[in-house]
A = this chain, B = another copy of it.
Amino acid sequence: MLTPELPFERAARERLGEPLFRYMQGLPADAFGDENDANHLALRRFRLLPRVLQGNESIDTHITLMNQTWAAPIGVGAFAGDRIFHEEGLLPIARACKRLQLPLVISEETVTPLAQIGAEYDRCWLQLRAAGEVARIKALIDQAAESHFKAIVLTVLAPVHPVAGLQPGGFSVGDALKQRGWHTIGGTQPGVEPLPAFPVWRWQQIDEVATHCADRGLPLLLKGVLHHDDAAPAAAHGVSGLIASNIGLRQSARWVTPVDQLPDLQAVTRLPLLLDGGIRSGSDAVVARCLGATLSLSVRPVITALVTGGETAVFDLLSGWINAISAISHWCGVSDMGALNGSFVTEARD
């Protein structure tokens, strides 16, 4: 089974040029050119098993996550250097997400200022790298709170590169930002803020950040949790949700897929699980929901739409997925997202 091309992929490739397109694709040093998207294929291994004659009277795609309500179990994940991809940065995405009421995760490596994003859409989440001084993180959380952000995401898997030369797709987004003299949300000078690879954070730092988040009324999610022994203690450390993610297979093509890890994670925690990576259709989001993911995050298809058609294309992509979630779920015989569970999927044998 080969990974199919995304819609607009060729157009985006032309618009971006090869180096930046490769960065977006994010193939790491241990991937080879013809690598498939294992994250997507892991979802494609499952098929939907619908029910009929269920008498369902409507279909509601809304979900509730950490006391927040969203229009559908999908959201837009974080990416670095937004202004490189579009002259308005990710603001067109923010507008589309606002119109649709979907969560939007903002990377601390975003060029567009935090306050400007918050002014455009007051329901964003800020994603920070779990490395370096906790004080730096706290200060950024304070800014996020002031800009009406609604959650904090801490990337705990591979937050910093310990050696040079392993940039996804062989493109340094940090260098590109420096050349342009552009600051990022988390940076004190042009480019991406350098953080030390060592020592790696422990749960002790998570405790500190979680307390600070609680003070600001912001729930905290950990991104990059794949092993059940890392999921089990999270709730006791003040974490409100886990994002199963291999960071888009950008640091290595060989990480396990979050889809394959969902059962292990569910077995040890009652925290809401989000899925990051591999979503390419509304059906994928329904499958993810059936497999236990409260909400799924997508990045590459959204950037591809942004690059080729701005807000309109992003809106069309995401509203198309919501429509598909609506139809597929309805045809599965349910009335709301809470009714989707493992009984609606089977592992494909082809």
Stretch from A81-89, A135-143, A200-208 forming part of the interface with B: A200-208
Tell me whether A69 is interfacial, beta carbon within 8 Å: no
Tell me whether A327 is interfacial, beta carbon within 8 Å: yes
Number of copies: 4
Which residues of chain A in 303-326 are interfacial with respect to chain B, using CB atoms and an 8 Å cutoff? 320, 323-324, 326
Docked complex Cα distance between A280 and B349 (Å) = 20
The distance from the CB of A234 to the nearest CB of chain B, in whole angstroms, is 9
Q: Which one of B54, B199, B326 contacts A163 once the chains associate, using CB atoms below 8 Å? A: B326
The distance from the CB of A137 to the nearest CB of chain B, in whole angstroms, is 14
The distance from the CB of A269 to the nearest CB of chain B, in whole angstroms, is 14
Contacts of A42 in B (CB 8 A): 349-350
Docked complex Cα distance between A325 and B284 (Å) = 33
Docked complex Cα distance between A163 and B321 (Å) = 11
Q: When the two chains form their complex, are residues B5 and A199 in contact, meaning their CB atoms are under 8 A apart?
A: no
Docked complex Cα distance between A327 and B206 (Å) = 22
Binding site for B on A (CB under 8 A): 1-2, 4-5, 29-30, 32-36, 38, 41-42, 44-59, 130, 156-158, 161-166, 197-203, 205-206, 222, 224-227, 229-230, 251-257, 260-261, 280-284, 287, 320, 323-324, 326-328, 330-331, 333, 346, 348-350
